[in-house]
């Protein structure tokens, strides 16, 4: 087969001079330009005003730019200081980033939700999603020529790619060039109206400064709420303090810093209880949304949503359910909470226990004959969250239904990756349709997934499930002389949650693969 592999850095067609000119006065931009000239221009050809081959014809997330430059360092021996790299990543993410709408649906990769089951067409899954996530692809924008060079780079950098398992079942290079390149250029083009509009209307970073009321949920620990205080600390940089509490009363307090990229990509580092946590949020009109996780153990994280003080938003109801015929306390979290709370038909507010603009704690009573189902909650004119009323639990789902945990430590440098689960109860509405009630406390255990796992005693070796929290800690890495052929502590397990509802037990089941370490762990999986 005849092939022309070009790791080319020849000039492209589309100059970015126009988009660079949008932020000409920023001093950081000038610094970045100097760095680009001094450290990149040696290999990347100048193309007119402030444009460089390859670099100027792509748009991506801050993590995407970081990965490209890190590759320049490890594979092409680029020399760059950490500080210069930070400046260049910031500048490129601001001037050649993605619009918020261009990251919709694939933010899970940035938020490091590594158990996400991706939704792509079969071709993309098989051609591009077997080595890394499809999201890594969907989080980039390029013209056809740049997608083609990316394909060439893959085969040039890893010439054995086509002979590896999961690639040799097809003519990978041919399909990539003929089918994937046009498809990618159409699906993820460099020039979009969304990015043009966003560049014009990008909010100022000052809009982030102030107090934010937040709500969160951490699997294995529960719901939390509190206030996050943000103060300016340089251009697009902030000091951050969080002061909150879990539903069980334990504190959630910490301090750190954050940077805003591309006008909305919030990246923070906040130390909570001695744990260095990373914040990956999208800022959108007075709302911050995303995930906050332990930097060293990204499986330990919480869903996070916050509303800026001064805006009017209802963010969450904690807990989001009540049993028909019972009384219970719920907390509404938001910003500008004013007026009377209402929880829909069959649910009565017995007493307002506490009301501030950020928090509204009430005692509720659901009538014994209240219809099972979901009700829209409102406070004054504010809406957007639901309360589920249930009579019986119809089904318990283990979330995530399919997950991967990893052995670690055992003398090695790679930490264990835990499994973390929620038990989600579902009910059946009067219309017969299933509805989500919410996350319930459960008793947890693991069992052998199949005959093979039973024979190999995976339950005994693969790790330990904490019965009351749904947190699974895998076994040590390395060969285990007690196992057949001294294999390691991998396993294939059923994850079983038992939820008790008024003396009746309901169980749900998921699957967890306990496997070997993830040796290569780049910012975008």
- Least distance CB 351 / ligand HEC (angstroms): 55
List the one residue from 29, 50, 54, 305 that touches ligand HEC (CB under 6 A).
54
Question: Per CB under 6 A, does 127 bind ligand HEC?
Answer: yes
Question: Per CB under 6 A, does 366 bind ligand HEC?
Answer: no
- Least distance CB 15 / ligand HEC (angstroms): 16
Distance CA 482, CA 425 (A): 39
Question: Per CB under 6 A, does 126 bind ligand HEC?
Answer: no
The interface with ligand HEC within residues 238-257 (CB under 6 A) comprises: none
Write each residue from 167 to 186 as x if it is in contact with ligand HEC (CB under 6 A), else as -, in one continuous string.
x--------x---x---x--
Distance CA 525, CA 439 (A): 28
Answer yes or no: are the C-beta atoms of 419 and 464 closer than 8 Å.
Answer: no
CA atoms within 13 A on the CB side of 48: 11
Question: Per CB under 6 A, does 78 bind ligand HEC?
Answer: yes
- Least distance CB 32 / ligand HEC (angstroms): 10
- Least distance CB 162 / ligand HEC (angstroms): 9
Question: Per CB under 6 A, does 361 bind ligand HEC?
Answer: no
Question: Per CB under 6 A, does 29 bind ligand HEC?
Answer: no
Question: Per CB under 6 A, does 44 bind ligand HEC?
Answer: yes
Question: Per CB under 6 A, does 58 bind ligand HEC?
Answer: yes
Q: Which of 60, 51, 87 is nearest to 150 (CA)?
A: 60
Question: Per CB under 6 A, does 43 bind ligand HEC?
Answer: yes
CB atoms within 10 A of CB 222: 19
List the one residue from 37, 86, 154, 363 that touches ligand HEC (CB under 6 A).
154
Instruction: Specify the residue, 58 or 418, whose C-beta has the smaller distance to ligand HEC.
Output: 58
- Least distance CB 334 / ligand HEC (angstroms): 38
Rounded to 5°, the CA angle 178-183-186 comes to 130
Answer yes or no: are the C-beta atoms of 509 and 498 closer than 8 Å.
Answer: no
Any residues with CB less than 8 A from the CB of 4 and at least 6 apart, and which? none
Question: Per CB under 6 A, does 149 bind ligand HEC?
Answer: yes
Piece of 129-137, 225-233, 326-334, 419-427 that binds ligand HEC (CB under 6 A)? 129-137
Question: Per CB under 6 A, does 522 bind ligand HEC?
Answer: yes
- Angstrom CA distances, 511 to 325, 414, 497, stand at 35, 23, 11
Instruction: Specify the residue, 168 or 454, whose C-beta has the smaller distance to ligand HEC.
Output: 168
Instruction: Specify the residue, 80 or 106, whose C-beta has the smaller distance to ligand HEC.
Output: 80
List the one residue from 2, 76, 433, 504 that touches ligand HEC (CB under 6 A).
76
- Least distance CB 136 / ligand HEC (angstroms): 5
Question: Per CB under 6 A, does 132 bind ligand HEC?
Answer: yes
- Rounded to an integer, what is the distance from CA 466 to the centroid of its chain? 25
List the one residue from 23, 71, 196, 295 that touches ligand HEC (CB under 6 A).
71
CA atoms within 13 A on the CB side of 85: 16
DSSP state of 45: P
- What burial class does residue 57 get, using C-beta atoms within 10 Å of its C-beta: 0-12 exposed, 13-18 middle, 19+ buried? buried
- Least distance CB 409 / ligand HEC (angstroms): 24
Rounded to 5°, the CA angle 94-99-103 comes to 115
Distance CA 415, CA 93 (A): 31
# residues contacting ligand HEC (CB under 6 A): 42
- Least distance CB 43 / ligand HEC (angstroms): 3
Any residues with CB less than 8 A from the CB of 87 and at least 6 apart, and which? 28, 31, 32, 35
- Least distance CB 420 / ligand HEC (angstroms): 26
**Structural tokens at position 344:** 């829909």
Q: Which of 89, 85, 23, 88 is nearest to 61 (CA)?
A: 89
Answer yes or no: are the C-beta atoms of 316 and 303 closer than 8 Å.
Answer: no
Residue 425: helix, strand or coil by DSSP?
A: strand
List the one residue from 29, 66, 88, 218 that touches ligand HEC (CB under 6 A).
88
Distance CA 262, CA 202 (A): 8
Answer yes or no: are the C-beta atoms of 421 and 404 closer than 8 Å.
Answer: no
Piece of 124-132, 202-210, 251-259, 271-279 that binds ligand HEC (CB under 6 A)? 124-132
- Least distance CB 88 / ligand HEC (angstroms): 5
Question: Per CB under 6 A, does 300 bind ligand HEC?
Answer: no
Question: Per CB under 6 A, does 67 bind ligand HEC?
Answer: yes
CA-CA-CA-CA torsion sign (312, 315, 318, 320): positive
Distance CA 285, CA 306 (A): 11
Rounded to 5°, the CA angle 469-470-471 comes to 90
Piece of 17-25, 62-70, 296-304, 441-449 that binds ligand HEC (CB under 6 A)? 62-70
Question: Per CB under 6 A, does 109 bind ligand HEC?
Answer: no
Q: Which of 400, 410, 406, 514 is nearest to 457 (CA)?
A: 514
Which parts of this chain interact with ligand HEC (CB under 6 A)? 7, 9, 39-40, 42-44, 54-55, 58, 64, 67-69, 71-72, 75-78, 80, 88, 127-128, 130-132, 136-137, 140, 149-151, 153-154, 158, 161, 167, 176, 180, 184, 522
């Amino acid at each position: 087969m005849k092939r022309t592999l070009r790791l080319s850095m020849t000039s492209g067609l589309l100059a970015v001079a126009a988009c660079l000119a949008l932020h000409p006065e920023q001093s950081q931009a000038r610094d970045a330009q100097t760095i680009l000239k001094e450290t990149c221009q040696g290999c990347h050809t100048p193309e007119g005003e402030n444009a460089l081959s390859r670099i100027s014809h792509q748009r991506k997330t801050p993590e995407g730019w970081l990965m490209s430059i890190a590759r320049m360092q490890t594979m092409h021996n680029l020399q760059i200081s950490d500080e210069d790299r930070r400046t260049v990543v910031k500048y490129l993410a601001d001037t050649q980033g993605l619009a918020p709408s261009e990251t919709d649906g694939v933010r899970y990769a940035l938020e490091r939700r590594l158990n996400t089951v991706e939704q792509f067409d079969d071709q993309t899954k098989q051609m591009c999603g077997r080595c890394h996530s499809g999201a890594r692809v969907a989080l980039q924008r390029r013209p056809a020529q740049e997608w083609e060079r990316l394909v060439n780079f893959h085969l040039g950098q890893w010439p054995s790619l086509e002979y590896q398992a999961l690639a040799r079942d097809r003519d990978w290079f041919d399909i990539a060039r003929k089918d994937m390149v046009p498809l990618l250029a159409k699906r993820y083009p460099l020039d979009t109206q969304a990015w043009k509009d966003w560049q014009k209307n990008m909010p100022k970073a000052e809009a982030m400064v102030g107090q934010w009321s937040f709500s969160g949920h951490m699997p294995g620990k529960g719901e939390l709420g509190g206030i996050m205080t943000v103060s300016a600390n340089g251009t697009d940089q902030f000091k951050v303090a969080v002061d909150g509490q879990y539903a069980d009363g334990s504190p959630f307090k910490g301090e750190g810093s954050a940077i805003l990229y591309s006008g909305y990509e919030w990246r923070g580092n906040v130390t909570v209880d001695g744990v260095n946590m990373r914040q990956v949020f999208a800022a959108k009109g007075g709302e911050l949304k995303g995930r906050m996780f332990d930097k060293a153990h990204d499986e330990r994280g919480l869903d996070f949503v916050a509303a800026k003080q001064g805006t009017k938003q209802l963010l969450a109801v904690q807990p989001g359910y009540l049993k028909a015929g019972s009384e219970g306390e719920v907390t509404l979290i938001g910003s500008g909470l004013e007026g009377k709370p209402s929880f829909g038909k069959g649910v009565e507010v017995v007493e307002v226990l506490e009301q501030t603009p950020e928090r509204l704690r009430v005692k509720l009573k659901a009538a014994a004959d209240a219809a099972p189902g979901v009700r829209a909650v409102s406070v004054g004119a504010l809406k957007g969250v639901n309360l589920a009323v249930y009579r019986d639990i119809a089904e318990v789902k283990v979330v995530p239904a399919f997950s991967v945990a990893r052995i670690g430590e055992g003398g090695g440098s790679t930490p264990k990756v835990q499994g973390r689960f929620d038990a989600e109860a579902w009910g059946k509405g009067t219309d017969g349709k299933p509805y989500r009630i919410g996350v319930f406390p459960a008793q947890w255990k693991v069992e052998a997934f199949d005959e093979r796992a039973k024979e190999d005693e995976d339950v005994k070796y693969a790790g330990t499930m904490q019965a009351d929290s749904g947190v699974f800690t895998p076994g040590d890495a390395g060969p285990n002389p007690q196992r057949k052929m001294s294999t390691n502590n991998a396993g294939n397990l059923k994850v079983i949650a038992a939820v008790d509802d008024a003396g009746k037990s309901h169980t749900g089941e998921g699957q967890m693969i306990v496997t070997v370490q993830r040796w290569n762990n780049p910012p975008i999986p």
